[in-house]
C-alpha cells in the first residue's frame, strides 16, 4: 500500500472518529436536557438553578479527571526519582 492510500485511509478514519465524537456529545447534551426537564417538573426548582447544579457537577468531574496524585502518576514520579539513584549506586559499586 502506497503513502497516498495510507493518507486517504487515515483521513477517513479520523473523519468518522470525529463524527462519532460529535454524535456522542450531541446525544449526551440531549440526555442532560431531558434530565433537567424531568427534574424541573419533579422538584419544582427553577431551570437556572438546575443548570447551575449541572455545571457544578460537570466542573467537579472535570477537575477530578486530572488526578495529579493518581497511583499511575505516583509510580512514574517515584520511578523517575529512584531509577537514577539505582543507576548511580550500580555505577559506583561497579567501579569498586
The C-alpha cell at 91 is: 555505577
CB 60 within 8 A of CB 74: no
Domain boundaries defined on the chain: 1-65, 68-96
Residue 64 has pLDDT above 80, yes or no: no
Read off the pLDDT of residues 30-45 as tens digits, 9 standing for 90 and up: 999 999 999 999 999 9
pLDDT of residue 65: 59
Q: Does 63 or 3 have the greater pLDDT score?
A: 3
Mean pLDDT, the chain, whole residue set: 88
CB 39 within 8 A of CB 45: yes
The DSSP line for 37-62 is: HHHHHHH---HHHHHHHHHHHHHHHH
Amino acid at each position: 500500500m502506497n503513502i497516498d492510500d495510507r493518507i486517504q485511509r487515515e483521513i477517513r478514519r479520523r473523519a468518522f472518529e470525529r463524527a462519532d465524537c460529535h454524535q456522542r456529545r450531541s446525544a449526551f447534551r440531549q440526555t442532560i436536557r431531558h434530565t433537567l426537564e424531568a427534574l424541573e417538573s419533579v422538584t419544582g426548582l427553577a431551570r437556572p438553578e438546575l443548570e447551575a447544579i449541572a455545571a457544578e457537577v460537570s466542573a467537579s468531574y472535570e477537575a477530578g479527571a486530572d488526578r495529579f496524585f493518581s497511583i499511575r502518576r505516583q509510580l512514574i514520579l517515584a520511578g523517575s526519582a529512584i531509577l537514577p539513584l539505582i543507576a548511580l549506586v550500580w555505577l559506583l559499586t561497579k567501579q569498586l
